[in-house]
Structure 1
Amino acid sequence: MENGDKVHNVRKDNTNSPLKATSPVKDERFSLIRRSLRLGGHETPKSKDKRGKEADPVSPTKDPNEDKEVGQIPKATTAKDSGTGTQSVNIKPNFSFSRTSLLESTRKKSEVKDKCNGLNLIQEDDSSGKSDVHGHGATVEVVAPLSVMEIHELIRENMLSKAFQHLRLLEKEIPTAGSTDVNETASTEIMRKWKDVQLLYHNFTEQIQSIVTDSLNSSETNAELFHSMMDIIEEEENIHSVNEETEYASTYEFLVKPQKWKCLWEKTIQKNIQQRIQKYIILQEERTESQLAVNLGYLRKQVVTDISTVKNNLQKCYPEKYRILDMYVKHFHEIISSNLRELLEKQMEYNELYAVLDWAVNTYPSEEVLRHEDLQPDVNVENLGQLLDQTTMDKLKNDYCEAVQRKIRKWMDNLIKLEQNKWSSENSPEILNNYYHSPLHIDVQMMIGQHMKNAEKIDNHLRNKLCIICMEEAKHFVSRIPNIVEDWAMNDVAGQNISRLLGHLLAIINSFQDLKSGLTQLDNLHLTNHEEMERAVDDALESFNKLILSQFKVKTQIHFEKLMTRLWISDSEGFEEIMTVINELSLHIKKMKQPAKSNLVQLIHYHIVKEYIVQVMKKKKSYKKSITCEKAAKRILEQSDAIKEIFNGLGSTAEWLNNAVIYISNIIGQNDKKMIQEKVITLNEEYPDVSAEHISAILHYRRALSNKTKRKILKHFEKLPKKDMPKNRMLFSEINVHSTAACLPYV
């Protein structure tokens, strides 16, 4: 070598001394450094001077065929630029290039010394890894990259900045798009280097993902680590962004493509949030109705914990420009919304649908999550908007209403089955405060009240809609019970079912009355709905009364047929049987609540009086002797008093019924024509609906009266003034006179 020229082998020490790269290499085409530089170097190929002539080689001992060899260990040498006082570094790669191609590429850019200055890599405090070139006081230091395994270990130990510097050195050894003239062996070596670089970039990618994923699981964070991670993310983006636009990118596969780590970093944040949220917003195949509500409770705690971690730990680890807290809150909001929308596409029960409604409307935007004291004042709720859009919310509410309707129907079917089981059992109905008791009204009121209360927590529109649904289903339920009871009674065998059912039926009547009065206490029940429900209950109670009366008729009709016969005056067995049935019924009626009790008592009272008069109107017997008529009248009067007494004991308010039988008794028992006529007038005044046919049938008992006298009485009756009769006081008009009952034509 010439004086002043020195050749230094650049080697890498095994120590972990820090490396410093002040700037990336400006000229990609000159970056031919390889990792094996630390093992020693070769001389550079001959270069041409500015006149196109070959320059003298750096070393006079250089083999002239050396530039054609492949696979030799390259050497890094320094050459003095005469007259300038500067030094340059010539680097021979570990693969062979065409001499012409390399020299042309070199001439297009700049002098060798400029390339060395552009490299600008300095290894501090590492005497084994640098080469000092002495001449006119100038020094250039060249650093060789670590091996792939060593860089990998740096990445694994989170020494990201140092690892990235050496990765970049390794990447510089790959020729750029301009270096195209390589032989087959060199091309293989290039691809091997390219795969090494790609593998290390992949390791970096995995490590970034790991750091981001683990960041929410730790209460302590390494701010320096996150800063270095974001620095290399930005540096990589600046270095490789040009590759997206280069014309060589599609031609030369060995060019390192942009890693897009910034996009990867944010997607990893999103994926991490998705994984943390998705385990709570799921529907298991085997689940209880409350499972989703429990999971959403856990989600509430998880969201608060994670965002608190970002606020207290991660926020200080990222540069302020990233606004990391706002980013995490935004992604949490969007991912929760997306998962809930996906969840709503599945079949859900009403409890699950309400759990989602309540969580989205009440829990999420409240102090339980977004406005939690641990997150304030940093989390800006107003900028997030609604968790679920209006279309999704409308669908959710509709699905919830439909699910509630299905649930109510199923629930009411079960209530009916429970009632039917009671009817079949030998057990007596429950008695509470001396009244028959059924919890039906409590169940229905709780059902309506609870759904109204839940809906009111969401909004008034849902409450009103659900109110209509609940009341419709309640009305349907109330209307079904009488039909079911009637079907039960129609299958009665020897009257056993109705006897067993009566107490339970009266308990249902009491319960329905409580339901009617209890609905008025629901403040959020619309007036129209309340009135419709009242009518439904009234209709049901009327149906119950008709059913009880029909069964009462069945049990008493046979005994009524024994009245007004030849044996009736001396034998009162038939009437006593009727009174026995009334007394048995009265024991049950006394355990009824008002006003249903009074309504039923009046209904039965009316039927007894009416049916008694019906027997009088039938042509069963007439009496020729006055004394016999008097006995018949006395018997009628006695039985009338007995009827009056028993119904007074039951609290009947239909006192207007009591005199009807008494007046008939007075007509039958009178012998004087004028007195009979006066009694007829009295009967007409109090019961204007009595007709001439009814009077004729009554007079039939007085066989001693001549037909002429009877006609006079009837004519006089026809002339009597008639007054209007209220519908609730109609008695005789409801009684059809038997065609053979009239003793004679009255006209």
Structure 2
Amino acid sequence: MMEDSKCQEDNTTLQVVQTLNKEKKKATEKEEAQTGETSPTSNIKPDSSDTTKKGLLQKIRIRLNNGRTKKRQFLKEEKRTSMDCDFIHNITPKQLSVLEIDKLLQRSCLEEAYPNLLSLRREIQCEKEALGEKTPPVELTNKEKDLSLLYETLRKKLIETVRNSFELPSKEVLGHVVIIIQEEEKREGDLGGIEGWRDAWRSAVQDSVNDTLKQVELDSREENASWLAVHLGHLGKVIVELLEKVKTELVDSYPSNFNVFDTYVSSCHEVVGEHLKKLLGIITKLKDCYSMLDFIINQYCGEKILGSPSLQPEMEKQKALTLPDDFVDQIKDKYCNCLQEDLNTSLGRIIQIEQKEVWDEKATPKTEHEKFTTSEIHIDICRVIASYAENSGKLDADLKKRVLCISLDVLKHFPKRFEEEFTKQSVSLLGSELLDFCLWAKYHVAYTNSFSLLKEHMEGYRESCPDQVAELGREVDGLLLSLRQALLKQFKVEIEPFMENLMTKTWLTTDSDFKELMDRIEIYSGSGKSMRPHPAQSFANDMHYHVVKEYISQLLKNKYSCKGRKNSLAAEKIRDQWGELRRLFSDMGSTLEWLHPLGDQLSKIIEQEKEKDIKKFIEPLIENYPDISETQLSAILFFRDRSIGTYLKKNPVIQHFIEPKQNSEKKNHEHILFSDIK
């Protein structure tokens, strides 16, 4: 009896609600009539006068517009606050059949289908309450299954409507969808219903966003080298267009607690995040990694997309992609790996171009400012490194620093790589033809200058990558040394025949060999003058040291001995020749000034008539050149007079040499010359 009374009470409540709805409808119609919405001309009398007619028409328009404005404001306010709707309460005591309700749902006639669905739900609820603890009959069980199926159909229809919110039929039904969701949330937990309506709505919104964004075209990399940049650019435009539609067409269809705009933005974050994860798996090029990072870091949160003026102020703080914490780091890692490969390829291409356009063609290197011979290799390398730094700097300061360090790490292997290829290609120029030899020398000078400039330029990155700059500097120095040594080695080969004729009887009577020596020095000094200051000085020092060492070594070979008047002649010749060498190497820029006194000191020893007079010149010699040995001093004495060999150990000069030699390492220990003479 209690169950029956409750059902009767529900029916009574239903009748009351229906009555209230009718009254509400009448009140609305009455208000519309007062505002002139339904019949704006009903109270206007006709007038034959044109002036009167115009006035009446103007009044009609004003009343009509006022009525429409008030109606729109009323309806909008009504929808945004309560989103109430009559059809919820049109629950008839006797509902349609399950098949009829299903057909209404399939046709999206929610205003008819939903009240009947609620009526069926109420009927089942009343029957279950009437049974109490009794086992429900099969008929009731089937009704429950039917209700469940109808609710599933209703949910699918709601999801379909939300997914197609921007299409005309769905727009008309969208208001009913919102009301049904709210109503079901109120009834959540009641018998026969299903839960999660708001979650289903959010999922439908995300599906709608996904449906829209997946339509953005994605060219293959074979069709378009900039396929990813183009795709992401179009994707950004579609996102803005989508959110603009949400703002202008959908927001007013929902109550504020749905947070419609924010939900669509969050869905964009989710969909775009998933899309980017898929794209990361297929990108393999540096430019594509850059395009993705630029999209995430600059474009997505910038004015092109989420920061677009057309989306403000609704956007507020909704500017973060839904990505795993390490996702951007993964892209950066891939970017850096691709950069390493790209830089290696670029450096290899630089060598290939040099071989094709310079070595194979025997092209003469350019002269910078009519003085320094140079190559453009350093310009190409610096341009590549600078472009990497600039592009990565547009993305992230830390990434720029990382890119610079990686670039310098890759670059440090280039000097040896270049040296191997250049040596292999240039050896053919060392033939009998003078022009080829001159070209060979110019190439060495040009690359010495070019890599010196490269090292100077890379010093600008020392603050960001101190260790990498230092390592690269050491590698470049190694190449510069190899280039100088190659020139020096060839120089040694050319002067060797003339050096061997020094300190002989022929040398004492003619200057031909020494003049040939000076000619070769002047030729190579021209190469030195074509070098930039720092390598030129190093090259001048190398030549200076080698010539002095070889000149002195001829004196120590015991191949000739003077005596009597010849001592004075030999001493004078050594002094004169030493002076010419000194002037020439000073002009070249040699800084080995400590070598200058040696010629005079040896000349004084050689020209002395009495051995006892030699003692006073021993200590200055040892002081300037502490690495001179007793054997080498004996060789100098032998050159002065062969007879000294018969009593070498008892020679007073040798005896006088021993004590100052023991204390010689206290001064000028860096002056190493005699110990380098074998």
Q: CA deviation at 1:650?
A: 1.0
Does residue 1:227 correspond to 2:175, yes or no?
Answer: yes
Contact residue 461 and residue 469 of structure 2 kept, 8 A: no
Whichever residue aligns with residue 547 of structure 2, its letter is I
1:595 is aligned, of 519, 523, 534, to 534
1:355 is aligned, of 271, 291, 297, to 291
Does residue 1:286 correspond to 2:219, yes or no?
Answer: no
Contact residue 208 and residue 265 of structure 1 kept, 8 A: no
Q: Report what 1:576 is aligned to.
A: 515
Q: CA deviation at 1:379?
A: 1.4
Q: Report what 1:407 is aligned to.
A: 342
Q: CA deviation at 1:616?
A: 1.8
CA deviation vs aligned residue, 1:416-467 (integer Å, no higher than 9, x gap):
3334443443112222222223344444444444444554555555455444
Contact residue 281 and residue 339 of structure 1 kept, 8 A: no
Q: Report what 2:453 is aligned to.
A: 514
**Per the alignment, do residues 425 and 637 of structure 1 end up closer, same or farther by CA in structure 2, a change over 3 Å counting?**
farther
Question: Residues of 1 paired with 2:325 and 2:394: CA distance?
Answer: 17
SS at match of 2:506: coil
SS at match of 2:310: coil
Contact residue 175 and residue 253 of structure 2 kept, 8 A: yes
Contact residue 337 and residue 388 of structure 1 kept, 8 A: yes
Q: CA deviation at 1:611?
A: 0.8
Q: CA deviation at 1:475?
A: 2.1
1:471 is aligned, of 408, 412, 418, to 408
Whichever residue aligns with residue 611 of structure 1, its letter is E
Question: Residues of 2 paired with 1:524 and 1:678: CA distance?
Answer: 55
Q: CA deviation at 1:330?
A: 1.0
For the aligned residue pairs, the C-alpha RMSD in angstroms reads 5.1
SS at match of 1:431: strand
Q: CA deviation at 1:733?
A: 1.8
CA deviation vs aligned residue, 1:715-746 (integer Å, no higher than 9, x gap):
3333445422545421112112xxxxxxxxxx
Whichever residue aligns with residue 227 of structure 1, its letter is G
Correspondences of 1:712-723 after superposition (within 5 Å): 712-720=652-660, 722-723=663-664
Question: Residues of 1 paired with 2:560 and 2:621: CA distance?
Answer: 22
Question: Residues of 1 paired with 2:671 and 2:217: CA distance?
Answer: 68
**Per the alignment, do residues 280 and 558 of structure 1 end up closer, same or farther by CA in structure 2, a change over 3 Å counting?**
farther
**Per the alignment, do residues 591 and 707 of structure 1 end up closer, same or farther by CA in structure 2, a change over 3 Å counting?**
closer
SS at match of 2:536: helix
**Per the alignment, do residues 244 and 210 of structure 1 end up closer, same or farther by CA in structure 2, a change over 3 Å counting?**
same
Contact residue 628 and residue 675 of structure 2 kept, 8 A: yes
Q: Report what 1:330 is aligned to.
A: 266
Contact residue 301 and residue 320 of structure 2 kept, 8 A: no
Q: Report what 1:690 is aligned to.
A: 628
SS at match of 2:373: strand
Q: Report what 1:542 is aligned to.
A: 481
Q: CA deviation at 1:579?
A: 2.5
Q: Report what 1:365 is aligned to.
A: 301
Q: Report what 1:733 is aligned to.
A: 675
Does residue 1:392 correspond to 2:345, yes or no?
Answer: no
Q: CA deviation at 1:328?
A: 0.8
1:311 is aligned, of 247, 260, 264, to 247
Question: Residues of 1 paired with 2:549 and 2:583: CA distance?
Answer: 16
Question: Residues of 2 paired with 1:144 and 1:347: CA distance?
Answer: 57
Contact residue 164 and residue 208 of structure 2 kept, 8 A: no
Contact residue 213 and residue 269 of structure 1 kept, 8 A: no
Contact residue 629 and residue 669 of structure 1 kept, 8 A: yes
Whichever residue aligns with residue 578 of structure 2, its letter is S
Whichever residue aligns with residue 340 of structure 2, its letter is Q
CA deviation vs aligned residue, 1:181-204 (integer Å, no higher than 9, x gap):
99xxxxxxxxxxxxxx99x99997
Q: CA deviation at 1:595?
A: 1.7
Correspondences of 1:444-593 after superposition (within 5 Å): 444-456=381-393, 458-459=395-396, 461-487=398-424, 493-494=430-431, 499-522=438-461, 524-593=463-532
Q: Report what 1:438 is aligned to.
A: 375
CA deviation vs aligned residue, 1:186-223 (integer Å, no higher than 9, x gap):
xxxxxxxxxxx99x9999789837842548xxxxx997
SS at match of 1:436: strand
Contact residue 610 and residue 735 of structure 1 kept, 8 A: yes
Report the TM-score when normalising by structure 1. 0.64
**Per the alignment, do residues 275 and 661 of structure 1 end up closer, same or farther by CA in structure 2, a change over 3 Å counting?**
farther
Q: Report what 2:351 is aligned to.
A: 416
Correspondences of 1:567-716 after superposition (within 5 Å): 567-623=506-562, 626-703=564-641, 707=645, 711-716=651-656
CA deviation vs aligned residue, 1:340-371 (integer Å, no higher than 9, x gap):
11222234222322322232233322344323
SS at match of 2:507: coil
Whichever residue aligns with residue 659 of structure 1, its letter is P
Q: Which has the higher helix share?
A: 2
Contact residue 489 and residue 498 of structure 1 kept, 8 A: no
Contact residue 367 and residue 373 of structure 1 kept, 8 A: yes
Q: CA deviation at 1:400?
A: 2.3
**Per the alignment, do residues 573 and 429 of structure 1 end up closer, same or farther by CA in structure 2, a change over 3 Å counting?**
same
Question: Residues of 1 paired with 2:114 and 2:314: CA distance?
Answer: 39
Contact residue 486 and residue 547 of structure 1 kept, 8 A: no
Contact residue 430 and residue 440 of structure 2 kept, 8 A: no
Does residue 1:345 correspond to 2:281, yes or no?
Answer: yes
Correspondences of 1:49-198 after superposition (within 5 Å): 165=112
Q: CA deviation at 1:590?
A: 0.9
Question: Residues of 2 paired with 1:314 and 1:718: CA distance?
Answer: 106
Whichever residue aligns with residue 557 of structure 1, its letter is E
Contact residue 449 and residue 522 of structure 1 kept, 8 A: no
2:165 is aligned, of 197, 204, 212, to 212
SS at match of 1:521: helix
**Per the alignment, do residues 317 and 654 of structure 1 end up closer, same or farther by CA in structure 2, a change over 3 Å counting?**
same
Whichever residue aligns with residue 734 of structure 1, its letter is D
Question: Residues of 1 paired with 2:426 and 2:638: CA distance?
Answer: 39
SS at match of 1:348: coil
**Per the alignment, do residues 265 and 652 of structure 1 end up closer, same or farther by CA in structure 2, a change over 3 Å counting?**
same
Contact residue 451 and residue 466 of structure 1 kept, 8 A: yes
Q: CA deviation at 1:325?
A: 0.8
Whichever residue aligns with residue 161 of structure 2, its letter is I
CA deviation vs aligned residue, 1:152-195 (integer Å, no higher than 9, x gap):
9x96xxxx65x86489999999xx999x999xxxxxxxxxxxxx
Report the TM-score when normalising by structure 2. 0.69
Does residue 1:375 correspond to 2:311, yes or no?
Answer: yes
Q: CA deviation at 1:523?
A: 7.1
**Per the alignment, do residues 276 and 668 of structure 1 end up closer, same or farther by CA in structure 2, a change over 3 Å counting?**
farther
**Per the alignment, do residues 668 and 280 of structure 1 end up closer, same or farther by CA in structure 2, a change over 3 Å counting?**
farther
**Per the alignment, do residues 716 and 529 of structure 1 end up closer, same or farther by CA in structure 2, a change over 3 Å counting?**
same
Contact residue 640 and residue 661 of structure 1 kept, 8 A: yes
Greater Cα shift, 723-732 or 489-498: 489-498
Whichever residue aligns with residue 413 of structure 1, its letter is G
Contiguous gaps of at least 5 residues in structure 1:
1-108, 125-139, 183-196, 216-220, 246-257, 737-747
- Identity level (%): 26
Aligned pairs, how many?
583
Contact residue 429 and residue 439 of structure 2 kept, 8 A: no
Whichever residue aligns with residue 412 of structure 1, its letter is L
CA deviation vs aligned residue, 1:467-490 (integer Å, no higher than 9, x gap):
432332222223444454455566
Question: Residues of 1 paired with 2:322 and 2:442: CA distance?
Answer: 54
